[in-house]
Chain A
Amino acid sequence: DIQMTQSPSSLSASVGDRVTITCRASQDIRNDLGWLQHKPLGWYQHKPGKAPERLIYGASNLQSGVPSRFSGSGSGTEFTLTISSLQPEDFATYYCLQHRSYPLTFGGGTKVEI
């Protein structure tokens, strides 16, 4: 099984801050499909009582409708979610998810608090 280690588990930040969250995979999760290298990792935002919302797919592709202050990067075993300027509506818990192979595995989550 691929383990996803997410850090930090929580952080305190202010509106306007730059926030970075990291996920490390226990093995390289790149998926080479001939000429195309697939990065099977995504990031989600989850607020209490609501459905999780996909922010990033393919490690760095912004989901349609998601503000451009969110960005993702990384490859292989290390991946990062960055919020360039934290907004009040961004206070939530964030998760990474690898879909390279079953079982699909989430990071432990990062709670972003004021």
Chain B
Amino acid sequence: EVQLLESGGGLVQPGGSLRLSCVVSGFTFNNYAMTWVRQAPGKGLEWVSSISNNADTMLYAESVKGRFTISRDNFRNTLWLQMNSLRAEDTAVYYCARGAQSLLPDYWGQGTLVTVSS
């Protein structure tokens, strides 16, 4: 059974940092590109970042470029999103998903809530 489990969310002050993790199981992680998507309160889904299966390509939404870094460890079946210089508008539930541009994301995690507030 394919499973994705996010963690690392929480309350952080503006300008602060958080690192989200997504641990996966049930599939061969190094065969798949991976993606982070977020949903701000009362808003729709927004693509944040994607990484290729071998981590040689990373892409970011303009709204997070230069502040967020996506990475992965194919031995530990883990995806990360390092979020720096956080702003109030980054407040959202963050989801990791299997797939990206080459494969429409199919499996998603349950999400982890990030709240940026003083």
Which residues of A does B touch, CB under 8 Å? 40, 42, 44, 46, 49-54, 57-58, 63, 93, 95, 97, 99-109
Which bracket fits the contact residues of B? Answer: 20 to 34
Query: Are B61 and A63 within 8 A (Cβ)?
Result: no
- Give me the interface of B with A, judged by CB distance under 8 Å: 4, 35, 37, 44-47, 50, 59, 61-62, 95, 97, 100-111
Residue of B nearest to A104 (CB): B47
Select the residue from A49, A51, A54, A63 with max chain B CB neighbours within 10 A: A51
Could you tell me if A51 and B108 are in contact, using CB atoms closer than 8 angstroms? Answer: yes
Contacts of A99 in B (CB 8 A): 100-105
Closest Cβ–Cβ distance, residue B78 to chain A (whole Å): 18
Q: Is the beta-carbon distance between B61 and A103 smaller than 8 angstroms?
A: yes
Contact with B95, one of A40, A52, A100, A103 (Cβ below 8 angstroms): A52
Given A51-B111, A52-B45, A108-B44, are A102 and B101 neighbors across the interface (CB < 8 Å)? yes
The answer on a CB contact under 8 Å between B50 and A106 is no
What are the residues of chain A within 8 A of B46 when measuring CB–CB? 106
